[in-house]
Amino acid sequence: MKKLFSHKGLLVAYFTVIMFSCSMVSPAAAAEKLATPSQAAEISSNVPQIKTIGIIGGVSWVSSLEYYRLMNQMVRDKLGGLNSAQILMYSIEFGEFSRQERLADKGDWRPLRKIMIDAAQRLKNGGADFIVIASNTMNSSAEDIQEKVRIPVLHIADATGKKIKEKGLTSVILLGTKYTMESTFYRDRLEKKYGIKVILPNQVERDYINTVIFDELCAEKINKNSKEHFIQIINRLVKESRAEGVILGCTEIPLLIKQEDVSVPVFDTTAIHAEEAVMYSLGWK
């Protein structure tokens, strides 16, 4: 009799474990297991396929960290529970790369572009469905990557331009590296594609902003005096040029400047770009 009860106890425990295990499986997966092969195929085809985000990071790693954090938080908030972003990241060694990038208006860009194309190819080979370049400046390589690697690249200026248009603004300040502020790859895209007038700091201010980006922000140094100087530059341009907003056009600047620091709308390109990538990954864009 005791043996019978002990066997019954084991059976109850066994079926309890099975039932608990099944409760941990997603409804779609459970439905597939119970369905016929043709029904399972139909269920599988109705489940949205999440695209893998390929991030070219390390330029700098400080902002790449923000991309990773924001993307995962956004997916969690949109899908709930323990859901997170599906990401591959290739992190570029920033030492010599940063020295070349800092002097990009004078230097030879061919080595930098070669590194970017190689990074994109590695991500594609690893299974990335599209590319996000975690740097405003290096989005100047976006078209080269698309052409040579044959993979979609979500351009940061497009994501930003769309956000500015949604706000109904027509003139904004652009802060970033000297190359981002002074070259045409960013400004022309905003002006010609989205009809947004781009206002720049003066030459002295552009030199100062570039120095702060490379000497402080990329090295994870947040300086109170630099923050105050950035705010002064923004306030001057708002007053003198009647700018309606400000683009934080370097993915490290949002570490220094927040919306509460200025009176006009702030466009945090890191957050905007991360959101664009998440929406594209989930098939919502």
CA 182 to chain centre: 23
Going by pLDDT thresholds of 50, 70 and 90, the confidence category of residue 62 is confident
How far is the C-alpha of 247 from the C-alpha of 200, rounded, in Å?
A: 10
Is the pLDDT higher at 112 or at 120?
A: 120
Q: Which numeric CATH code is attached to 53-155+273-281?
A: 3.40.50.1860
Which part of the chain has CATH 3.40.50.1860? 53-155+273-281, 157-268
Task: Confirm or reject CATH 3.40.50.1860 for domain 157-268, answering yes or no.
Answer: yes
Instruction: Quote the strand ranges of 29-145, DSSP E.
Output: 53-57, 87-91, 130-133
How far is the C-alpha of 48 from the C-alpha of 45, rounded, in Å?
A: 8
pTM greater than 0.75: yes
Residue 208: Cβ-neighbour burial (10 angstroms; 0-12, 13-18, 19+)? middle
Q: How many CB atoms lie within 10 A of CB 130?
A: 18
Per-residue pLDDT at 240 exceeds 70: yes
Q: Which residue has the tokens 């370097």?
A: 250
255-283 pLDDT, tens per residue?
999 999 999 999 999 999 999 999 999 99
Going by pLDDT thresholds of 50, 70 and 90, the confidence category of residue 95 is confident
